[in-house]
C-alpha cells in the first residue's frame, strides 16, 4: 500500500513538471552564493571518479544512465548539503542514502530533468539552488567570441546539462578544469555513461545545432582583487600557464585560501582571453584535420544519440516518451556506425582520403558546419 502511494506521488510530481516541459529555461544570476562549496574538492572528486565510479554509490549506467548520479556526487563532495530523507520525495528534495527511489534517493539526484528543477528553474518553476545559470545553442560554440565567454564563465565543479530540441534534458557533465593547453582555451569535463573525459568545445561542436547547452554555475565567483590582474600583465604565456597549473593543484587549508586560489585563476584566465582577442603572444587556435579527430566526432555523435534514446526509454512515458525521436536516433546511429567502419579502414597518413571523409561526415552525414578551428 505504501509503495503504491509512493509511486502515485512520484507520478503526480512528474506529471506536474511535464506541464512546463516545453518551456524554455530562464537565465538568472540571483541564486545563493553557496560559499560552502569547495571547487577544489569537487575537482578532486571528478579526477578520482570519472573513469572508475565510486563504489559507495549504485551505478545506474544500465538503467537510464549514471551521468546525473555522478554530477550529484560531485556537488555533494564539494560541500553542497543533501536534504533529509522523506518517504515521498519531490523536487524540493535532493539526496542519496541508498539506491532505492524514495527514502533512499531522489529523482533530483539521478534524473537529469528533475535535477534541473532543483538546481535551476524552468520558466520560474524550480528551486534555483545554484548561484547562476545561462544557456546557449550548440551552434554558438563555433563562434570564438562566444567560446571566450563560456571559457571565462565556467569553473571546476560547475555543471553542464544538455537539452534536445524537443525539450528533454538528457545528459549531465561536471567541469573539471578550464585551462590553456597547447594554444587552446580548453574546458575539460568528466562524465559517466560513457565514463570518461571530454573536451567540451569538441563535444558540443558535433551535437545537433539546436541542442540547448545549460551552464550551471554552482557557486558565486570569488571577488577579484585588482592586484591579481595587475600581477599577471607582464607574464609570458608560458609563465601564465605554469602559474595556473600550480594554483590548480594547490590544496587550500581554509575558505580564504580557497577563494584566493580561484580569484587568481580567474585573473589568469581573463589575461589569457584578452591576449587571445588581441593576438598578443597567442595565435588563433587551429588544429589539423586527422582521422583521430574524425573518429572522436563520430563517436561523440553516436554517444549523444544513445543518451537521448536512453533518457526517453527510461522515462517510462512520464516525460513525453517520444517514439519518433527514438527512431530518429536509432536511424542516424545505423548510418554513423556504417560510416565509422569505412573511416576505420583508412590510414591516418592518407591525408587526402581523410579530408574527403571529413567533408562527407559534416556535409552529408550530420549536415552541419564543421568546427572552424580545424583546417
> What number is the average pLDDT over the span 51-72?
96
pLDDT attached to residue 280: 83
**282 or 200, which is more confident:** 200
Average pLDDT over residues 73-102: 97
Instruction: For residues 100-107, give the mean pLDDT.
Output: 97
pLDDT at position 141 = 93
CA distance 187 to 177: 6
Confidence of residue 242 (pLDDT cuts 50, 70, 90): very high
The lowest-confidence range among 20-24, 121-125, 137-141, 363-367 is: 20-24
Whether 372 shows a pLDDT value over 90: the answer reads: yes
Asked whether 295 and 72 are in contact (CB, 8 A), the reply is no
222, 262 contact by CB (below 8 A)? yes
The full DSSP string for 66-135 is: SHHHHHHHHHHHHTPPPPPP-SS--TT---BSSSSBTTTB-HHHH-HHHHHHHHS-BTTBS---SSEEEE
Averaged pLDDT score across all residues of the chain? 89
CA atoms within 13 A on the CB side of 204: 32
99-103 mean pLDDT: 96
Q: Confirm if 17 and 127 have CB atoms less than 8 A apart.
A: no
Q: Is the pLDDT of residue 364 over 90?
A: yes
Residue 178 CB partners (closer than 8 Å, separation 6+): 151, 154, 155, 156, 185, 186, 187, 188, 269
What DSSP assignment string belongs to 138-155? GGGGGSHHHHHHHHHH--
- State mean pLDDT over 335-352: 97
The model's pTM: 0.91
* Residues β-bridged to residue 162: 171, 213
- With CA atoms as reference, report the closest residue to 151 among 41, 284, 266: 266
Cell output for 330 = 536509432
| Residue boundaries of the structural domains of the chain | 2-217, 226-278, 291-365
pLDDT in tens, 321-332: 567 888 899 999
Cα(13)–Cα(79) distance, integer angstroms: 27
- The answer to whether residue 316 scores a pLDDT higher than 60 is no
- Say which residue, 20 or 50, is predicted with more confidence: 50
State residue 166's pLDDT score. 66
Distance CA 156, CA 335 (A): 36
Report phi then psi at 174, rounded to 5. -120, 135
pLDDT for residue 11 is more than 50: no
Average of per-residue pLDDT across 117-138: 91
Amino acid at each position: 500500500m505504501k509503495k503504491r502511494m509512493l509511486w502515485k506521488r512520484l507520478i503526480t510530481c512528474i506529471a506536474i513538471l511535464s506541464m512546463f516541459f516545453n518551456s524554455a529555461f530562464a537565465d538568472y544570476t540571483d541564486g545563493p552564493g553557496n560559499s560552502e562549496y569547495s571547487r577544489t574538492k569537487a575537482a578532486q572528486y571528478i579526477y578520482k571518479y570519472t573513469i572508475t565510479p565510486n563504489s559507495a554509490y549504485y551505478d545506474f549506467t544500465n538503467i537510464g544512465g549514471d551521468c546525473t548520479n555522478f554530477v550529484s556526487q560531485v556537488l555533494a563532495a564539494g560541500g553542497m548539503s543533501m536534504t533529509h530523507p522523506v518517504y515521498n520525495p519531490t523536487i524540493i528534495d535532493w539526496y542519496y542514502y541508498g539506491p532505492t527511489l524514495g527514502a533512499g534517493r531522489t529523482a533530483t539526484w539521478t534524473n537529469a530533468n528533475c535535477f534541473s528543477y532543483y538546481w535551476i528553474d524552468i520558466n520560474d518553476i524550480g528551486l534555483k539552488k545554484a548561484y547562476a545559470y545561462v544557456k546557449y545553442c550548440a551552434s554558438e560554440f563555433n563562434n570564438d567570441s562566444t567560446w571566450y565567454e563560456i571559457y571565462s564563465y565556467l569553473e571546476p565543479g560547475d555543471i553542464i546539462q544538455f537539452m534536445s530540441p524537443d525539450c528533454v534534458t538528457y545528459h549531465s557533465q561536471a567541469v573539471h578544469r578550464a585551462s590553456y593547453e597547447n594554444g587552446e582555451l580548453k574546458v575539460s569535463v568528466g562524465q559517466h555513461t560513457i565514463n570518461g573525459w571530454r573536451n567540451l568545445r569538441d563535444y558540443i561542436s558535433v551535437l545537433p545545432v539546436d541542442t540547448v547547452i545549460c551552464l550551471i554555475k554552482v557557486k558565486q565567483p570569488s571577488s577579484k582583487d585588482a592586484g591579481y590582474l595587475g600581477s599577471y600583465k607582464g607574464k609570458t604565456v608560458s609563465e601564465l600557464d605554469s602559474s595556473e597549473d600550480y594554483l590548480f593543484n594547490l590544496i587550500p587549508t581554509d575558505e580564504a585560501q580557497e577563494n584566493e586560489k580561484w580569484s587568481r585563476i580567474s585573473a589568469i584566465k581573463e589575461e589569457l582571453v584578452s591576449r587571445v582577442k588581441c593576438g598578443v603572444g597567442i595565435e588563433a587556435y587551429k588544429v589539423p584535420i586527422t582521422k583521430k579527430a574524425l573518429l572522436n566526432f563520430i563517436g561523440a555523435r553516436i554517444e549523444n544519440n544513445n543518451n537521448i534514446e536512453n533518457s526517453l526509454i527510461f522515462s517510462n512515458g512520464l516525460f513525453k516518451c517520444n517514439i519518433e525521436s527514438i527512431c530518429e536516433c536509432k536511424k542516424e546511429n545505423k548510418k554513423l556506425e556504417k560510416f565509422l567502419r569505412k573511416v576505420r579502414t583508412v590510414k591516418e597518413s592518407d591525408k587526402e582520403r581523410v579530408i574527403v571523409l571529413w567533408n562527407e561526415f559534416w556535409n552529408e552525414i550530420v549536415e552541419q558546419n564543421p568546427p572552424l578551428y580545424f583546417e
